[in-house]
Structure 1
Amino acid sequence: MEGGMDFLNCLDLDMSVQILMYLKDPSDLVRVSSVSRSWRDFVIANGLFKQLCLRMFPQLSRVAHVMELNKCGAKEPVEVGSSYSMEWESLARDHRVYATLARVCTSFHDEDCISKAISASSTDNYPDESIENTLQLADIVPPRAFYWSSKGQKNPAVPETLIYKLKSEFCVITEINICPFEAFFQPGSPIYSAKSVRFRMGHPKSPNDLGCHLPGDPLPSADDTFIWTYTSPEFPMAQERCLQNFRLPEPVLCIGGILQIELLGRVQTQEVDGLFYIWFVLYTPFHSLVAYSSMVMLWRPY
């Protein structure tokens, strides 16, 4: 506007960055970048899109390096010219990648994002009561019922875990739905729920850690196989045969595509042996991001 004032030229750097970081919607930051060349350069030079992504998804804090991909694979900048031009190209590359990531991660479309079952901490009767049964669209398909059952325990405090591979290595998880199984074929139709549930997300320590693993095969300790980048609060479960919704406090970016469900505490014994069991029929996590193939993120090791 004629006679207007560019506040970026009037305020010091820290104050200008602080003002622009109040923007929470990536589209607003895109509009800022479109005001003028100097504003776009300011956004790039100060990594505002990267800061926005880190604020939305703290799981990105372990990213050590970003590369763009082209049709031939990873594309690294050619080291020619001055160190300033090389630094600027690196900043511009990060700007493009994080701007696209921020836009895609906030373009929510609910979708079931489970790819396959990896393992259960225990299974009572394999394969009839395998974790793979939790991926069935219905819990009863005549002439049989589909559900996963843990092994029986005398101690009701013994937990169980279910581990799944998601459809993409980049998924934004907003909620997870779980349904305990009602054993209609047992006296009194008991419901084998857990007392509470907790969710962890992360990625394998090595791309070869999963290999050709089958759900019925023993898996080494999950903490030895996976790196967990997010752990949810603990949610109480109802002793009811219904799809129970567990909405996470904030959308979580699962990088690596591994989801673990921790089932904490047991409430129901089986009449035939007096042991505590947990039985589940299905669950559905929702996400907002499909596979994203225009970047590579390299992680800092622990």
Structure 2
Amino acid sequence: MVPVEMEVDDPRGWDFVDWVGPDASASIFRSLDDPADIVRAAAVSRSWRRFVVENEFSKSICLRICPEIANFTSAEEVSRSPPQPHAESSHGVQRKALERDYRIYSYLSGALVSNSPSMDCILQCIGASSTDNFPDETIENTLIPHDRVKHRPSYWSSGGHDDPDAPETLTYRLNCDMCIVDEIKLQPFKAYFQYGHPIYSSKAVRFRMGHSKLPHGSDSFVTVEDENLMAIADDNYVWTYTSPEFPMLQENVLQSFKLPRPVLCIGGIVKVELLGRVQKQEADDRYYICICHAQVRGRSLSPVFMVDTSDPAGYSVLKYLPDAKILRSEDAMLDDGSESLEWHSLVARYRRMRHLAIMNVLLGPEEFMDEDDIIGGVLMDEDDLGGMLEDDPFV
């Protein structure tokens, strides 16, 4: 039997958190950089789980991995079956909210550090700041991984400008509204049909990511000039990330611009800023920028995670759909009368975007059909298509 005096002095029977103290324990927990370590710590005992949950360590590690998460004003769990209302004390409500946030951010932190392969996440074009010869030199051409189709040049061209510092922008919508983006690729166009084969690159590039404030569906590419200007105007977007500037080489190759860290694109909008011009066209002695191909490389966090950006003030709410991980067939989507309306709305939105993404890959614009290995203007990349379909519960 342990003597009474040793029961007080011997720390072996004490809880580590109590022994070290809450402040020192919190410093130790915050030094952990692997999300799995936070989850393991919460599984040690009830007191450790309470300490982890109450101090929001899972949310803290998410913020360290992707600071863009600070843009979420709240996080909500959306289940297939709506919760049954029942009376609870204020302490019970607060405890459930902390447990919910711990659950959401624990899953999110694991998704943020996943080593899943990246793919081209562009779903469609929204618009370009200018276009020289529309529709022959439209931004839509940048979705084609070739600089010619049916022996004709395929590229986007800006309007001509006398100022070599005049910028241009290309704006794209991604295939989901929660994407981890780590790399953007651009290929300047080499005008093989002009004397000297000039390459119309920009001096530098910069990237913005965020979400639209326009009503859903109104930010797709349109041909009317004033509507296009509205679709690309910065005032109509909330930018949650802006990259540093990267120099662009005046070379006709697919150039990789690796971001300093993986970025969470909240809202699925990416704007490519082409900063400065280096090449004049001999015919009119004006500067142009031409891009023949663009890619936004990353991976989707949907359907498990989605975002609600409908607040007019620009706030965004993280939506966690835990049941989306277990759906594997169309039959599972049949309405049995017990599923929440919010669940149906989010799932329907996700399925629409996935359907558009897959159809873009399989079919593409009809005018770009070729007899060779181009389908719908897009070279079938088995890795990209496989990445789109893999583990997708709605396909």
TM-score higher than 0.5: yes
Q: CA deviation at 1:40?
A: 1.6
Matched AA of 2:243: S
Aligned to 1:242, which of 253, 258, 264? 253
CA distance in 2, matches of 1:56, 1:275: 44
Q: CA deviation at 1:164?
A: 0.2
Say which is worse superposed, 103-112 or 230-239, in terms of deviation.
103-112
Report the secondary structure of 1:55's partner residue: helix
Q: Quickly say closer, same or farther: Cα 1:258–1:66, change in 2 above 3 A.
A: same
Say which is worse superposed, 83-92 or 23-32, in terms of deviation.
23-32
Aligned to 1:107, which of 109, 114, 139? 114
Report the count of equivalent residues: 298
The corresponding residue for 1:26 is 35
Matched AA of 1:57: C
Between structures 1 and 2, the one with greater strand share: 1
TM-score calculated relative to the size of structure 2:
0.71
Between structures 1 and 2, the one with greater helix share: 2
Aligned to 1:254, which of 257, 262, 265? 265
- 8 Å contact 2:267–2:307 — kept in the other structure? no
Q: CA deviation at 1:294?
A: 5.2
In terms of Rg, which structure is larger? 2
The corresponding residue for 1:92 is 99
Aligned to 2:279, which of 256, 268, 275? 268
The corresponding residue for 1:168 is 176
Report the secondary structure of 1:115's partner residue: strand
Instruction: Kindly indicate whether residue 127 of structure 2 is the aligned counterpart of residue 82 of structure 1.
Output: no
- 8 Å contact 1:177–1:284 — kept in the other structure? yes
The corresponding residue for 1:287 is 298
The corresponding residue for 1:52 is 61
Report the secondary structure of 1:122's partner residue: coil
Matched AA of 2:158: S
5 Å-filtered alignment, 1:170-189, equals 170-189=178-197
The corresponding residue for 1:66 is 75
Q: CA deviation at 1:16?
A: 1.3
Report the secondary structure of 1:191's partner residue: coil
CA distance in 1, matches of 2:141, 2:12: 68
CA distance in 2, matches of 1:91, 1:257: 28
5 Å-filtered alignment, 1:165-244, equals 165-208=173-216, 210-211=217-218, 213-217=220-224, 218-220=228-230, 222-244=233-255
CA distance in 1, matches of 2:282, 2:259: 35
Matched AA of 1:98: Y
Q: CA deviation at 1:12?
A: 2.7
CA distance in 2, matches of 1:295, 1:183: 42
Q: CA deviation at 1:101?
A: 1.0
Q: Identity, % of aligned pairs?
A: 46
Please give the root-mean-square deviation of Cα atoms over the aligned residues, in Å. Answer: 2.1
CA distance in 2, matches of 1:70, 1:117: 32
Q: CA deviation at 1:168?
A: 0.9
Aligned to 1:156, which of 164, 185, 188? 164
Q: CA deviation at 1:57?
A: 1.3
Instruction: Kindly indicate whether residue 20 of structure 2 is the aligned counterpart of residue 42 of structure 1.
Output: no
CA distance in 1, matches of 2:219, 2:314: 25
Report the secondary structure of 2:69's partner residue: helix
- 8 Å contact 1:70–1:294 — kept in the other structure? no
Unaligned runs of 5+ in 1: none
Q: Quickly say closer, same or farther: Cα 1:57–1:261, change in 2 above 3 A.
A: same
Unaligned runs of 5+ in 2: 1-10, 316-395
Matched AA of 1:55: R
Q: Quickly say closer, same or farther: Cα 1:43–1:78, change in 2 above 3 A.
A: farther
Aligned to 1:138, which of 140, 146, 155? 146
Matched AA of 1:161: T
Report the secondary structure of 2:198's partner residue: coil
